[in-house]
Structure 1
Amino acid sequence: MERQVRKDSKVMWVLKALLASYIVTGILLLLLTMALYKMELNEKMVSAAIVAIYVMATLIGGILIGKMAKVKRFIWGLGLGIAYFALLLLITLGVYHTLNGDGANLVTTFILCAGGGMVGGMIS
């Protein structure tokens, strides 16, 4: 029984950190939307801001899961970054029924998400 509770708590760590990452993503995307409306940003600036939002969200999620795990924090952060990317990919496939862009953008986004989570875990 105790083993089952411990296993469930690790799943809850990941879910809590992912939820926090997606809440941060939503808030920052809302702020980006308002900035786009007010300042009429160009496409390059918006793309750079979206990449920064992905990194910041996974960084915060990595910090949270690292604080919860206390051991092998960078691995937990890396796993969170990968889970964030996988969920992002599933949402994109669910909404658009295809992957927009080329494979290089997909790989770059994966590396940024995984790296952001891992760095977050390391500094937690």
Structure 2
Amino acid sequence: MRVKGQKSGVMRIFQALLVSYIVTGILLLVLAVLLYKLNLDKGKVTAGITGIYVVSAFAGGFLIGKLQKVRKFIWGLILGMLYFLLLVLVSVGVYHTLQGDTMQIVTTLILCAAGGMLGGMLS
């Protein structure tokens, strides 16, 4: 039985995912400004995007860990994987195909999952 005012696990996950995507949006905006101002090359932009994925998954994992209070690293791992899944769904929705080769996709999955799990552990 749930106590009135207590959030369900699903709502907490949505809340943490929302925070992750807000962080993603803000950091992508910063990266776009840096790209415009500094004429960054493709390697630096790719590294920046990868870093944004990890930081965003970390932020969501940290929040879900704070909200759940038990098995924080598992919740962070789940959040990181859901974050990645939404990235893939958006990419397929926009481009009608996956961007990058299999190794890049698997690496991104691992980085998102690890970032979320680390955030959960440190929460």
TM-score by length of 1: 0.94
Q: What is the CA–CA distance in structure 1 between the aligned matches of 2:7 and 2:83, rounded to whole Å?
A: 19
Cα distance, 1:104–1:33 mapped onto 2, change above 3 Å? same
Structure 1 match to 2:79: 80
Q: What is the CA–CA distance in structure 2 between the aligned matches of 1:67 and 1:8, rounded to whole Å?
A: 13
Structure with the higher fraction of residues in helix conformation: 1
Structure 1 match to 2:49: 50
Gaps of 5+ in 1: none
Structure 1 match to 2:117: 118
Structure 1 match to 2:37: 38
Q: What is the CA–CA distance in structure 2 between the aligned matches of 1:82 and 1:7, rounded to whole Å?
A: 25
> One-letter code of the match for 1:56?
V
1:1-124 to 2 correspondences below 5 Å: 2-3=1-2, 9-124=8-123
Deviations 1:61-86 (A, max 9, x none): 11000000000000000000000000
> One-letter code of the match for 2:8?
S
Q: What is the CA–CA distance in structure 2 between the aligned matches of 1:121 and 1:6, rounded to whole Å?
A: 23
Q: What is the CA–CA distance in structure 2 between the aligned matches of 1:7 and 1:24, rounded to whole Å?
A: 25
Count of aligned positions = 123
Q: What is the deviation of 1:22? A: 0.1
TM-score by length of 2: 0.95
